[in-house]
Amino acid sequence: MQHLLLNNGVRIPVLGFGVFQIPDHLECERVVQQALAVGYRLIDTAQAYDNEEAVGRAIKSSGVPRADIFLTSKVWVSNSGEQAAMASIEESLRKLDTDYLDLMLIHQPFGDYYGTYRALERALKEGKCRAIGVSNFFADRLVDLCNFFEVKPQVNQMETHVFQQQVTLRPYLDKYKVQLQSWGPLAEGKNDFFNQPVLKKIGAKHHKNVAQVALRFLVQSGIVAIPKSSSRAHMEQNIDIFDFELTPAEIELIRNLDTRRSLFCNHHDPKFVEALTALKLS
Ligand SMILES: NC(=O)c1ccc[n+]([C@@H]2O[C@H](COP(=O)([O-])OP(=O)(O)OC[C@H]3O[C@@H](n4cnc5c(N)ncnc54)[C@H](OP(=O)(O)O)[C@@H]3O)[C@@H](O)[C@H]2O)c1
């Protein structure tokens, strides 16, 4: 597995495994155990996914040393603010049955996320997190945060795939040395993703499928990707991307697929913000 270096010197695997939309605890435990057995060493969960306990159990029973796993979680909006966020970090640690997180993110740029960031800074100082960061922070929010706090976020996790390549955000990530991590690297199959003709054609040349070409494009561009799969066959395909290289011409063809738009949501739509901020955790 290749690694990248975060701005505080912490190493992060360039490919990981996401567990969004696997709320069933037995299913989640099985899936994470399988992912670890297949070779994934980065697991991405969140307070809002309601599966931190299952992830913790899967890690414990996997036999893989905790130190070899890069574990990420995210503070949900309803836990925003310094005190609530600090308490929620403790709760995540308890549920995940671990002394530390490798990465803790602010899930959404809503609520009192300045207070949340202060809690993350504290958690970093106290060794409860090895790295901290944000998610879904578009360039304006990110720049504001970077200019307000001493500790720059190590990561910004954003919807990033061949149809949304985050070209507006990326110069600012470079400027503030924030690592881009891709959520939805396979666009959850939207837009007939797995039949995309350009990716199919490139894949045929390398004896790889569309998912493998799409993931290779991200990691070869220096972006950390965290595909989700409940199928062992897909897990194996998605990690089998380190034995080929896309040519500059192929990269250019894939760059041209960018629509610069989300396939999922609009963070600037008040109705979407209302829906997210109404979501309370049980
Ligand atoms: N920060 C945020 O706001 C945010 C938002 C969304 C997601 N995330 C994180 O990012 C992770 C990944 O994103 P995502 O789960 O939304 O979507 P994704 O990884 O882009 O897509 C997952 C979908 O692709 C299918 N799939 C996976 N590998 C495949 C393959 N080789 N061939 C065909 N189909 C394949 C999966 O089906 P099978 O299960 O059948 O394989 C699943 O339906 C999440 O799990 C989560 O950790 C974060």
Q: Is the separation of the CB atoms in 72 and 93 below 8 Å?
A: no
**Tokens at residue 259, please?**
């629509």
- The distance of Cα 35 from the centroid of its chain, to the nearest Å, equals 15
**Residues involved in catalysis:** 49
Packed helices 248-255 and 197-206: angle between N→C axes, nearest 10 degrees: 160
For residue 52, report the distance from its CA to the centre of ligand 1, in Å: 17
Residue 186 CA: nearest ligand 1 atom is 20
pTM for the full model? Answer: 0.98
Options 3.40.50.720, 3.20.20.100, 3.40.50.300, 3.40.50.970; CATH for 3-278 is 3.20.20.100
Residue closest via CA to ligand 1's atom 4 equals 183
pLDDT averaged per 10 residues, the chain (length 282): 97 98 90 98 97 96 97 98 98 98 98 97 98 98 95 98 98 98 98 97 98 98 98 98 98 98 95 93 84
C-alpha to C-alpha distance for 224 and 157, rounded to whole angstroms: 9
Residue closest via CA to ligand 1's atom 26 equals 229
For residue 33, report the distance from its CA to the centre of ligand 1, in Å: 17
Residue closest via CA to ligand 1's atom 43 equals 188
Strand locations in the chain (E): 3-5, 11-13, 17-18, 42-44, 70-75, 103-106, 132-135, 155-159, 179-183, 224-225
pLDDT (0 to 100) of residue 25: 86
C-alpha to C-alpha distance for 120 and 126, rounded to whole angstroms: 10
DSSP H or E segment with residue 102 = none
Q: How is the chain split into domains, by residue range?
A: 3-278
Residue 161 CA: nearest ligand 1 atom is 20
3-state class of 101 per DSSP?
strand
Ligand 1 site residues (CB inside 6 A) read 18-20, 44, 107, 135-136, 157, 183-189, 194, 211, 226-231, 234, 237-238
| Residue linked to tokens 């990033």 | 160
pLDDT (0 to 100) of residue 230: 95
